[in-house]
Amino acid sequence: MEIQALLGLTLAFLFFSGAHSVTFTSTNKCSYIVWPGTLTGSEGAQLTSTGFELDTGASTTLDVPATWSGRMFARTQCSTDSTGKFSCLIADCASGQVACNGTGGIPPASLVEFTLSGSGGNDFYDVSLVDGFNLPLSITPQGAANCQSTSCPGNVNSVCLPELAVKGLDGSVIACKSACLALNQPQYCCTGAFSTPATCPPTNYSMIFKNQCPQAYSYAYDDKTSTFTCPTGANYLITFCP
């Protein structure tokens, strides 16, 4: 009886405190396999899955803490060598495994980013190309009214400039670096004398990304058109190649 009473009190506390988990559903609409990875921010605990394989047309769910903050990305052109080491040409997290184990994807990589605030607040989410682009993706809130989807539907690789392009073995462009990543200059990275929104406006390089994906972050200070909110309690659908 004591154990049952304790269990009842615990469940009551969780219910009345508004504690809950959020469900992320990942769906792959690309014509190729992707290997999504997750990374928790602010030195928080990593999720139960930090990397997995997702076949074309497949979906999977992941339970995320109600106050989680972090990102998700998709690795592409991955394989396992004769020693059992797993690696990817694009967005590899250098763990040697399908699980990323607390490391992020090496840019360039398209990102979805979340800050989930828990009971009584707003979740914040965005699609970011600040680290470059490798594939289109989207975020769609589910189970909540008046919450807007956001996406990067365009193929930046098709318009990527030579100085930003990452090419595959066949010579085709398989990812596009940001100007900050490729050129490492303050005016593109919003550092030094360019470290404020007033001194770091969009550039011709960032506009290549923005024109393809108007809702996505194209550089560091692209907040006005790229940050979205939804009341807590929503779940989220993340689609690769929407």
Angle at 49 between CA 113 and CA 154, to 5 degrees: 40
Model pLDDT, residue 166: 97
Residue 41 contacts residue 71 (beta carbons within 8 Å) = yes
Model pLDDT, residue 19: 52
For the whole prediction, is pTM greater than 0.85? yes
Q: Going by DSSP bridges, is the β-strand pair 235-240/137-142 parallel, antiparallel, or unpaired?
A: antiparallel
Model pLDDT, residue 88: 97
Q: For residue 219, what are the contacts with CB-CB under 8 A and spacing of at least 6? A: 130, 178, 179, 180, 188, 190, 200, 202, 203, 206, 209
Residue 220 contacts residue 173 (beta carbons within 8 Å) = no
Give the residues across from 112 on adjacent strands. 72, 127
Coil/strand/helix, residue 115: strand
Residue 178 contacts residue 207 (beta carbons within 8 Å) = no
DSSP string, 131-193: T-BSS-EEEEEES-TT---EEE-S-GGGG--TTTEEE-TTS-EEEE--HHHHH--HHHHT-GG
Q: Distance between terminal CA atoms of the chain? A: 52
Coil/strand/helix, residue 31: coil
Low-confidence ranges of the chain (pLDDT < 50): 1-18
**Fold topology of 21-240:** Thaumatin (2.60.110)
Of 121, 135, 117, 149, whose CA–CA distance to 72 is shortest? 135
The residue ranges of every structural domain in the chain are 21-240
**Count, residues in the chain:** 242
